[in-house]
Structure 1
């Protein structure tokens, strides 16, 4: 998975407020089980990648695991001990905005017990509350 997008119209965006329910990406397309968010938050690349590694560790490399989110928003931060003003800070991290209802991961599998165990391990790596959804 790529860590950041290749090209953006603007490099630094405003933060905005993260509230409301997701109207897009809230149903399964490719798999028959999914990990669905139930609260607002942000996920950075390291959290997504560690959850993906946890899923691959539990399922093996032969199963199809799809990641439905991508870190495409920039978070900026000014260095320590710098006074206010003088413009926006440097790029600190790339994040993905998460709203309730967004499907984060999808898996094509038949064994529900294995799915339940692996999704629990993956959800421990994320900073938001999640639940399992299925067709």
Structure 2
């Protein structure tokens, strides 16, 4: 999976605030079950990839995993023991901005029990609280 965008207009982005609930990307579209965030936050690209690997190992090619978030936001940091001033730090990692209600992962082709176990492993790795939801018929 891509850990950062191919190209961006601006290397450094401001932090911003996560306000309100997700109005888009808040329903299960591709799979049968989804992992939905119940609180807002940033999910780093490394965390997204770690979740992908954990889920793939558990479903073992029986089902299909869909990743619904992408790390568009660059997060900067200044080296340790640096004095104040001297401008904004260099981009450290890339993160996906997640609002409450955003569906982060989806899975199809597996039983509900398997999906529950897969998402339990995934949720343990995520920095935001999340829950499992089903596709609305």
Q: 1:21: which partner in 2?
A: 21
Query: In 2, Cα distance between the equivalents of 1:58 and 1:80?
Result: 38
Give the distance between the partners of 1:115 and 1:109, measured in 2 at CA: 9
**Under a length normalisation based on structure 1, what TM-score does the superposition of the two structures give?**
0.95
Give the 3-state SS of the residue equivalent to 1:52 in structure 2: helix
Task: Find the aligned partners of 1:109 and 1:134 in 2 and give their Cα distance.
Answer: 13
Superimposed CA distance per residue, residues 102-133 of structure 1 (whole angstroms, 9 cap, x where no aligned partner): 00001112411111111101110111111011
Moved more, 38-47 or 80-89: 80-89
- Classify the secondary structure of the residue corresponding to 1:124: helix
Matched residues, number:
135
Match of 2:61 in 1: 61
Distance 1:98 1:33 in 2: 18
| Residues in 1 aligned to 2:15 and 2:50: alpha-carbon distance in whole angstroms | 25
Contact 1:109–1:115 (Cα < 8 Å) also in 2: no
> 1:103 aligns to what?
103
Instruction: Give the structure 2 partner of residue 12 of structure 1.
Output: 12
Residue in structure 1 matched with residue 48 of structure 2 by the alignment:
48
Task: Report the counterpart of residue 89 of structure 2 in structure 1.
Answer: 89
* SS of aligned partner of 2:125: coil
> Contact 2:62–2:109 at 8 Å: present in 1 too?
no
Change (3 A) 1:8 1:91: same
